[in-house]
Amino acid sequence: MLKEIKSPQIYIPDNVHELISFYSENPNSLIFAGGTSIMIKSAYSESGSIEYIIDCNELEELMRIKRTERYLEIGALVTLSKIASIGTHVIPLSLYKALSQTATPTIRRLATIGGNIYVGASYSGILTVLYAMDSILELRSLQRSTWIPLSELILKSENQKLYIPEGYILTKIRIPSWNWNYEIFRKIARKPSQKQCSLTFCGLARTNKGILTDIRLCFGSLGNRLYRNRGLEVGFLGRKLPVQDKTIEFLLSELDRSLNPSTDRYSQAEYRLATSKKLIRWFLTEINRI
């Protein structure tokens, strides 16, 4: 027997306040940003539980990018191609690289950074970089507006889904100011545009007078969650360059114990672990050349 499915109605808010009020009064609504994730998931159209689709195309205030001395602020509805088009004199190089290796140019013209974060896939190169950079997110509901570290949501998350609390809309993303002496992003995949991949990695380092003053190491696509170990990173601070071989070996043995990658149809766990360790070794060797 055919199931009767009622088509959702479309609502187009003129501003963020209208979006938030409508969403709070109609929790069975679906926010439609770029639609690239929504349109490929039959679950959205077949469930029949969605009463309204909120088309966010008119919300100019969430399509802006601002750079101050303290941070880079990106509206949740800015498309991936628009952010990349601003260039590396404004956005961090590793973010630029992650954006350029996400999906295809056509998808990047539609997909928004807010949508990518909301989907929260552990293979997201963009999330790998944002996590490494200690980014914070503005979440808004009718009752409350709050800034929350992305790390907090990742640590709470399960099963490849970020835990954006129910009823909240992601409105802005802030990346604290950076002056990394060295930053890299790598995506290991058969094709750069491939969605699921073997590995994503972001490495960042800051030095001052031959001393390592900050280091960030973040991996994506190893399993359900992105991996970053602040304890390990802190252990490196204040060390003199070049990083000694025994320090590198210590870090690699720690990663052996804590990375715990999974096997799927894109990669074997052993390959993921070995490649992560190679990337770390290479990254630390490169820092030694600064």
Ligand X SMILES: Cc1cc2nc3c(=O)[nH]c(=O)nc-3n(C[C@H](O)[C@H](O)[C@H](O)COP(=O)(O)OP(=O)(O)OC[C@H]3O[C@@H](n4cnc5c(N)ncnc54)[C@H](O)[C@@H]3O)c2cc1C
Nearest to 142 by CA among 53, 17, 55, 56: 17
Nearest to 158 by CA among 223, 114, 222: 223
Q: Closer CB to ligand X, residue 111 or residue 226?
A: 111
Chain Cα centroid distance, residue 15: 25
CB of 176 to ligand X, least distance (A): 21
H-state helical runs in the chain: 16-25, 42-46, 80-86, 93-100, 105-110, 113-119, 125-132, 150-156, 230-234, 245-258, 269-288
Nearest to 137 by CA among 149, 123, 129, 151: 149
CB of 290 to ligand X, least distance (A): 30
Q: Closer CB to ligand X, residue 116 or residue 135?
A: 116
Q: Closer CB to ligand X, residue 29 or residue 275?
A: 29
Q: Closer CB to ligand X, residue 167 or residue 242?
A: 167
User: Is the separation of the CB atoms in 109 and 153 below 8 Å?
Assistant: no
CB of 30 to ligand X, least distance (A): 5
Q: Closer CB to ligand X, residue 95 or residue 121?
A: 121
Minimal CB distance to ligand X: which residue? 115
Nearest to 187 by CA among 50, 94, 290, 55: 94
Q: Closer CB to ligand X, residue 41 or residue 240?
A: 41
CB of 139 to ligand X, least distance (A): 8
CB of 31 to ligand X, least distance (A): 4
Gyration radius of the chain over CA positions: 20
How big, in percent rounded to 5, are the helix, strand and coil portions of the chain? 35, 25, 40
Q: Closer CB to ligand X, residue 129 or residue 248?
A: 129
CB of 124 to ligand X, least distance (A): 3
Q: Closer CB to ligand X, residue 64 or residue 240?
A: 64
List strand residue ranges (DSSP E) for 91-246, in order: 136-140, 145-149, 169-176, 182-188, 199-208, 211-220, 227-228
Binding site for ligand X (CB under 6 A): 30-38, 40, 76, 102-103, 107, 110-112, 114-116, 118-119, 121, 123-126, 169-170, 195
C-alpha to C-alpha distance for 157 and 169, rounded to whole angstroms: 17
CB of 212 to ligand X, least distance (A): 30
C-alpha to C-alpha distance for 159 and 152, rounded to whole angstroms: 15
**Largest separation between any pair of C-alpha atoms in the chain:** 74
CB of 261 to ligand X, least distance (A): 18
